[in-house]
Amino acid sequence: MTWIEELAARADAVLPDYVSRYVHSVAGDGACAREGVEDWDALRLRPSVLRDVSTIRTGVELLGTPVASPIVVAPMAQQVAANPLGEVATARGAAAQGSLLGVSTNTGVRFADIAAEGAPWWYQVYLTADRGITRTLVERAVEAGAAALVLTVDTTSLSVEHPEIHPPNWPDESLRFRTGNLSAAEVEAAGAGLGTNFAVGPDDIGWLASISGLPVLAKGVLTARDARRCVDAGAEGVVVSTHGGRRLGNSVTSASALPEVVAEVGGECEVHVDSGVRGGHHVVAALATGARAVHVGRPVMWGLAAGGAQGVADVLGRFRGELETTLRQLGVASVLDLYPVDVVRRGSAGPHRGGR
Ligand SMILES: Cc1cc2nc3c(=O)[nH]c(=O)nc-3n(C[C@H](O)[C@H](O)[C@H](O)COP(=O)(O)O)c2cc1C
């Protein structure tokens, strides 16, 4: 068992069955989720020797925000089901590690309470059917100090095969996210307008940038063509993501899509990646391929369920420790000095000369 599998088992032991199955859930027959991890595993690093790696540097700026390492927390809904403090505990754990977190539209916690923990945070936007509600939420996120917006562009349908694990059907209502940033009267007035809008277009990127004054990342991009459309529409970053294999069962994986996205837009915007990242060696492979940052999802949720804020800090600390060890073993002293020449697919000969 890996340490993450052990952590998941500890989380499963404390969560109601339907919550733990919701966190584990994947789309279709799970090929994308499974291969999402396998494709990171299939990458091999090419160590350099005779390098000074006595000091390892992991600090970077992400869209202008300094962080201790390029490992950040992916936005995830339903965190109050994992721990009563929800994103407040996640933010506390992220702050302890100098990291940053994404905050889902579907958070039950007030932005101000998350912000008070001191970690930088990005607001993840699901466009609502009534764009006025999105505007209100974005304005409140900006006021509370969100440093960027993450527009999720891949959620065109919900693919929860087992209705009993879909949060609206959970028997314990108190575990479902409560709309933490709208008043009861606003929720009532919104009615059906609160529903997710599946018609997301490139113009929404520019609109969000204009109403917030913040950089916008488009999350859920898997092709060079779409990355180009996002950047042309004003995105300052893209997140290569399969939503953790939760959206399209037989989708290509993030590891396989990352090179073409980097080749297309890597010189113009920040390329981030998530889905299936399960260790420091995966992080190094992603950064060497050209990612600026890596977002981690389920392992953080399991840390939150098993150990609250400390559990989140432990997960992020473990990833960062593995990142540092892998860099030292690779002979690279800084995350900013990783290049495609440092990584090959298993079995491939790799570059014959050049690099380093
Ligand atoms: C329980 C859960 C809830 C999630 N909720 C959201 C969400 O509200 N918005 C979003 O953009 N992504 C959401 N995601 C996807 C994550 O942001 C991220 O893309 C994914 O978890 C990364 O894969 P990993 O879990 O393999 O690390 C969710 C993922 C999980 C596991």
Which of ligand 1's atoms lies nearest the C-alpha of 244? 23
The answer, yes or no, to whether residue 161 has pLDDT greater than 80, is no
**Structure-token match 């959620």, residue found:** 155
Check if 166 is active-site: no
pLDDT value of residue 160: 60
Q: How far apart are CA 74 and CA 341, in angstroms?
A: 28
Q: Among the listed ranges 20-34, 182-196, 272-286, which one has the minimum average pLDDT value?
A: 182-196
The answer, yes or no, to whether residue 196 has pLDDT greater than 70, is yes
**Could you tell me how far CA 107 lies from the centroid of its own chain?**
15
Per the CB < 8 A criterion, the answer to whether 318 and 279 are in contact is no
Centre of ligand 1 to C-alpha 114, Å, is 18
pLDDT value of residue 351: 66
Q: Is the CB of 180 under 6 A from ligand 1?
A: no
Q: Looking at ligand 1, which residue's alpha carbon is closest to its atom 28?
A: 76
Q: From start to end of the chain, where are the E strands?
A: 43-45, 60-62, 65-67, 71-73, 101-103, 121-125, 148-152, 216-221, 237-240, 270-274, 293-296, 343-345
Q: pLDDT, tens digit, for every residue of 210-228?
A: 999 999 999 999 999 999 9
Buried b (16+ CB within 10 A) or exposed e, 193-226: ebebbeebebebbebbbeebebbbbbbbbbebeb
The answer, yes or no, to whether residue 195 has pLDDT greater than 80, is no
The answer, yes or no, to whether residue 77 has pLDDT greater than 90, is yes
**Cα 119 to Cα 88, 107, 297, distances in angstroms:** 10, 16, 17
**Residue with more model confidence, 235 or 198:** 235
* Helix/strand/coil for 58: coil
The answer, yes or no, to whether residue 154 has pLDDT greater than 70, is yes
Structure token digits, residue 145: 């100090």
pLDDT value of residue 178: 79
Q: How far apart are CA 79 and CA 85, in angstroms?
A: 8
Q: Is the CB of 79 under 6 A from ligand 1?
A: no
% of the chain surpassing 70 pLDDT: 97
The answer, yes or no, to whether residue 354 has pLDDT greater than 80, is no
Mean pLDDT of all residues belonging to the chain: 95
Q: Is the CB of 72 under 6 A from ligand 1?
A: no
Give the CATH number of domain 3-345; options: 3.10.20.340, 3.40.50.10320, 1.10.3720.10, 3.20.20.70: 3.20.20.70
Domain coordinates in residue numbering, the chain: 3-345
Q: Looking at ligand 1, which residue's alpha carbon is closest to its atom 14?
A: 76
Q: How far apart are CA 91 and CA 259, in angstroms?
A: 31
Mean pLDDT within 121-127: 96
Which of ligand 1's atoms lies nearest the C-alpha of 74? 17
Q: Is the CB of 146 under 6 A from ligand 1?
A: no
Q: Looking at ligand 1, which residue's alpha carbon is closest to its atom 29?
A: 76
Mean pLDDT within 27-34: 96
At 198, the pLDDT band (50, 70, 90 cuts) reads confident
Per the CB < 8 A criterion, the answer to whether 126 and 192 are in contact is no
Structure token digits, residue 16: 């109601």
Which of ligand 1's atoms lies nearest the C-alpha of 296? 27
The answer, yes or no, to whether residue 31 has pLDDT greater than 90, is yes
% of the chain surpassing 90 pLDDT: 86
Mean pLDDT within 132-157: 95
Q: pLDDT, tens digit, for every residue of 308-322?
A: 999 999 999 999 999
Nearest partner of 123 among 87, 147, 100, 89, judged by Cα: 147
The answer, yes or no, to whether residue 206 has pLDDT greater than 90, is yes
Mean pLDDT within 262-276: 98
The answer, yes or no, to whether residue 352 has pLDDT greater than 70, is no
Q: Among the listed ranges 4-13, 296-305, 346-355, which one has the minimum average pLDDT value?
A: 346-355
pLDDT value of residue 17: 96
**Could you tell me how far CA 18 lies from the centroid of its own chain?**
23
pLDDT value of residue 279: 97
Beta strands 121-125 and 148-152 are parallel
Per the CB < 8 A criterion, the answer to whether 268 and 94 are in contact is no
pLDDT value of residue 194: 80
Per the CB < 8 A criterion, the answer to whether 53 and 335 are in contact is no
Centre of ligand 1 to C-alpha 269, Å, is 22
At 242, the pLDDT band (50, 70, 90 cuts) reads very high
Q: How far apart are CA 240 and CA 273, in angstroms?
A: 5
pLDDT value of residue 322: 98
